[in-house]
Amino acid sequence: MNLDDLNKVAQAMVAPGKGILAADESSPTITKRFNAIGVTSTEESRRDYREMMFRATDAMTQYISGVILYDETIWQSARDGTPLIRLIEQAGAIPGIKVDEGTQPLPACSGELVTVGLDRLAERLNKYHAQGARFAKWRAVIDINAADRIPSMTAIGVNAHALGRYAALCQAAQIVPIVEPEVLMDGDHDIDRCLEVTTRVLNVTFQELRKQRVALEGMILKPNMAISGKKSARKAPVEEVAEKTVRMLKACVPAAVPGIAFLSGGQSDEEATAHLDAMNRMGNLPWKLTFSYGRALQAAPQKAWSGKPENVVAGQRALIHRARMNSLATRGAWSADLEEKAA
């Protein structure tokens, strides 16, 4: 492991004003999103959609530091025969790859899940590195359900262990790991319950990372924000989300970590941007705070594109707009008024 090189990649992933485009939806997930816009999901249509995004030059060169790819995408070529991974590199962004293989029910923990995919991961990482991937992503899913006393410490511990093992294997393959322990916002819990659970999850995750000798300088953290559940009776305001999330991170995340790239986790486009902006306005942070958004970057481009070749420019324009708004948020320079004027 060359830690200096890993740290250079990690620092580039959280470069000022830039963030990560999460384009790593599985085929079933992107099929659901295509169904919503009336597009049939095929290998060709998925390729065309992602090519449209990767050729959005202003977004890719100015606001996007890296792109998380799905296994299908990393091997695909554009219509003109250029490998999609080369389009990303030519724009100055870093190609990455999702390496977990989804979730399975966790035995003896009713309703809880464990992320799988460690088998043969070392072999797969070497192939991805040879193809050009320089970072990877592994998502652990932690649900909150007060009635069923979820999450259990078993679920938290098993998923944290897998994250640590994955991260160690990545660094051995000279790939920067994005460590993503996601506490879901699907329930009716309030922001304080999310804060409590996420604090526990982050603490256990970093214990596992240390146990497995993961170099913190050569990784990126991708957490959820401390936020109210979607069904909560009280939606926490932007300032409260920012204050409690930053307080949580300062208590749990060592300063050696180069940066934190938030997931959007079901927030609307503007909510995810506003929360990131409010956190960066607080200043005096030991790590860089940026975005690693999927739907919060892609919902508008998908709708504008709608699978039609004549809408490619409109789709790219929508991606550029969302990427620019989040770029401003990484500097604490976004505003709702600016959002409306730039739209």
Strand, helix or coil for residue 208: helix
* CB-based contact 116:100 (threshold 8 Å): yes
Q: Give the H/E segment covering residue 44.
A: helix 43-54
- Residues with Cβ within 8 Å of 9's Cβ and at least 6 positions away in sequence, in order, are 94, 134, 135, 176, 218
Bridge partners, residue 142, by sequence: 183
Catalytic residue among 18, 137, 222, 244: 222
CA distances from 60 to 36, 175, 316 (A): 26, 21, 10
Known catalytic residue at 180: yes
Provide the 3-class DSSP secondary structure of residue 63.
coil
- Are 137 and 181 within 8 A, CB to CB? no
Element (H, E) at 125: helix 121-131
Distances (CA, A) of 341 to 64, 152, 245: 22, 46, 29
Kindly name the residue from 25, 180, 182, 208 that is annotated as catalytic: 180
Cβ(323)–Cβ(298) below 8 Å = no
Active site residue 222: yes
Residue 73 identity (one-letter amino acid): T
For tokens 């996601």, name the residue.
182
Q: Are strands 103-105 and 113-115 parallel, antiparallel or unpaired?
A: antiparallel
Contacts of 202 (CB under 8 A, 6+ apart): 181, 223, 248, 249, 252, 253
User: Catalytic amino acids?
Assistant: 180, 222
